[in-house]
Each structure stands twice: as C-alpha cells, then as structure tokens.
Amino acid sequence: MTELADRLDAVRGGIAEAARAAGRDAAAITTIVVTKFHPASLVRELAELGVTDVGESRHQEAVVKHAELADVALTWHFIGQLQSKKARAVQQYADVIHSVDRPGLVGALAAAPSAVFLQLNLTDDPGRGGVAPADLPALAEAVAAVPTLTVLGLMAVAPLGEEPRRAFARVRAASEVLRGVIPTATHLSMGMSGDFAEAILEGATHLRIGTAITGNRPSPV
Ligand SMILES: *Cc1c(COP(=O)(O)O)cnc(C)c1O
C-alpha cells in the first residue's frame, strides 16, 4: 500500500509538473488508473488513496471486478478493443467507452446511452484498433446521428517508433476534424506511463496510466 501510494504521488507530481510546463491547470486533467490484470483488491486500495477513475481493457475481467467493487464509488472506463457482440454488456458497467472505432460498433451501442471517445489509429496496421484518420469524418457523422451516444473526443495510443509528442500532435490535429462534425467533442484521451508528459503538452484531458502507478502487471493466467 505504501509503495502504491508512493508511485501514485510520484505520478501526480509528474502530471502537475507537466501541466505547469504546458501552462495548463492540472485539475482539468483526469487521470484514469489502468488496472487490467490486477485484482479488485488493488482497485479498492487505489480508491482509498483517492483514485476516482479506473480503466479496464478486458471485458470478462472488468465484469467481475466491477461486481466485486459495487460498494466503491468509481468511474469505470473501458479502454480495450470492443467486439460488437459485447457492446451492450460493456455498457452495463462502463461509464465511458474509449474504443469506438467503426460504424458497426456505433450501431451496436445505439440502444443504450453512453459517453464515448472515438479511437484513432496512429499506425498503418488496422489490427491495432482505432479508425484510420481518413475514415474519422465518416465515423464522426455516424455517431453524431445517434442521440444516445455522447462523444467526448478522441482517444489514441502513441505508436512504438514514433516520437510520442509528434504522434499526439497528430491527434490534436485530428481533433479539429472531429470538432468540425461534433463541436462539443473537445476531449483527448492520450498519454500512458511512459509518455503522459508529452500528451499533456499536446492537450490531453484524460491520461490512461497503468504500470507507473500499479507497478508491473501480473502475468495473465
Ligand atoms: C494498458 C493500457 C494503458 C496503460 O499502459 P501503461 O503503459 O501501463 O501505463 C493505456 N491505454 C491502453 C489502451 C492500454 O491498453
């Protein structure tokens, strides 16, 4: 618990410092602690340390942890790739879904209300998840037509082999395209353990930070 508290403090300090360097208010930046592969007990400790937002990327695991933590007030973010057939089930526990990346998924989510990010793929590999930048306007139009879905903004993962700040600048540019279709979709979910400072400099509003806070993830069983 002390080590966890120390790492959380260190990351909070890093966020405050990066916000200062960017001339931004750290209070306007939401830190989502990514707890995938970790037990519900760790999520509970994080909540006791003041964490309000947690991120999960694996549906089955998230269902179980969310149920175990029904007594804890947390905002749950689903950040993993999402199959259309799981969409309704994820909506049951996820307050925010960060991985909407294709019109088919928009259709699958339409029956219930959700706050969503549109995930942008910054690589040339379609298997990485996310919409290709060229297809973003069409996806934005599709989701804008669905009254139950509130688009918060764009989500992205900086690719290996590209300077993160450059990658995040591409997200910031794509955000203008998105806002051309949905003016209120101003948020940016970007920045992880290794690159959150760069993300803050490029305007991140939602950081998704795992290992820098939780320590190494246990290996999947
Ligand atoms: C695991 C994960 C993170 C957190 O990664 P860390 O490097 O542990 O901070 C952030 N975003 C997504 C989409 C993830 O899957």
State the pLDDT at residue 20: 98
> Is the pLDDT reported for residue 218 higher than 90?
no
pLDDT digits (tens, 9 = 90+) for 133-157: 999 999 999 999 999 999 999 999 9
Cα of 36 vs centre of ligand 1, distance in Å, is 9
State the pLDDT at residue 1: 65
> Is 33:53 a contact under the CB 8 Å cutoff?
yes
State the pLDDT at residue 101: 98
pLDDT digits (tens, 9 = 90+) for 79-96: 999 999 999 999 999 999
Check residue 131 and report its DSSP letter.
B
Burial of 160: CB neighbours in 10 Å, binned 0-12, 13-18, 19+? exposed
State the pLDDT at residue 178: 98
Q: Which atom of ligand 1 is nearest to the CA of 99?
A: 13
Pocket of ligand 1 (CB under 6 A): 34, 36, 57, 79, 157, 192-194, 208-212
> Is the pLDDT reported for residue 34 higher than 90?
yes
State the pLDDT at residue 105: 98
CA distance linking residue 166 with residue 160, whole number of Å: 12
Burial of 78: CB neighbours in 10 Å, binned 0-12, 13-18, 19+? buried
State the pLDDT at residue 39: 97
Q: 0.85 exceeded by the pTM?
A: yes
Cα of 185 vs centre of ligand 1, distance in Å, is 22
Q: For 77, what's the count of Cα atoms within 13 Å in the CB-facing half-sphere?
A: 24
Residue 54 CA to chain centroid, in angstroms? Answer: 9
Cα of 56 vs centre of ligand 1, distance in Å, is 9
Q: Which of 32, 42, 57, 160 best tests ligand 1's pocket when mutated (most atoms within 8 Å of CB)?
A: 57
Cα of 145 vs centre of ligand 1, distance in Å, is 30
Atom 13, ligand 1: residue with shortest CA distance? 79
